[in-house]
């Protein structure tokens, strides 16, 4: 950057200002992109683990469900249709609760904490109404 001694034209000052603001904006975009990539990688890892867990659990859940239906059917005087319905509703209710909990966590993961903090600091730095320390 060519720095002159003495007064500079206003157009040169505006050019410097635009150059610095442009660099600042590019820097914030790079930070946001890096945060989004990190969040996406973490979400992919959790998704893979959840899929693996569900796949393994599926191998044991079917015999367990059959035992629950048969046991409840015996308690309901051999009414296996009703016992099947009750067991299915219990599992669907559990899945619904877990699904809602997972949906509530999604917005927290998408927040760009570092980017938001950096932008706040940048605004405070260039704000004309900064309080003297």
Domain segments of the chain: what residues? 11-117
The pLDDT, as a whole number, for residue 71 is 93
pLDDT at 21 over 90: no
Residue in this structure with the two tokens 């015999």, named with its chain if needed:
63
- Burial-class residue 5 by CB neighbours within 10 Å (0-12, 13-18, 19+): exposed
Q: What is the mean pLDDT of residues 66-94?
A: 91
Nearest CA-CA partner of 88 in 77, 76, 98, 80: 80
Give the count of beta carbons closer than 10 Å to the beta carbon of residue 52.
10
Most confident of 90-94, 116-120, 124-128: 90-94
Q: 2 falls in which pLDDT band (50, 70, 90)?
A: low
pTM, to two decimals: 0.44
The pLDDT, as a whole number, for residue 133 is 46
More confident residue, 112 or 120: 120
pLDDT digits (tens, 9 = 90+) for 85-94: 999 999 999 9
């Amino acid at each position: 950057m060519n720095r002159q001694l003495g007064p500079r034209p206003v157009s040169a000052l505006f050019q410097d200002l635009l150059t610095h603001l442009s660099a600042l904006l590019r820097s914030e975009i790079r930070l946001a992109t890096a945060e989004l990539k990190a969040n996406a990688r973490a979400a992919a890892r959790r998704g893979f683990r959840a899929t693996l867990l569900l796949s393994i659990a599926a191998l044991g859940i079917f015999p367990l469900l059959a035992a629950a239906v048969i046991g409840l059917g015996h308690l309901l005087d051999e009414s296996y249709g009703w016992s099947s319905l009750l067991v299915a509703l219990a599992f669907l209710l559990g899945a619904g609760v877990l699904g809602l909990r997972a949906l509530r966590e999604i917005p927290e993961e998408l927040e760009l904490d570092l980017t938001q903090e950096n932008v706040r600091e940048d605004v405070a730095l260039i704000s004309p109404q900064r309080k003297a320390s």
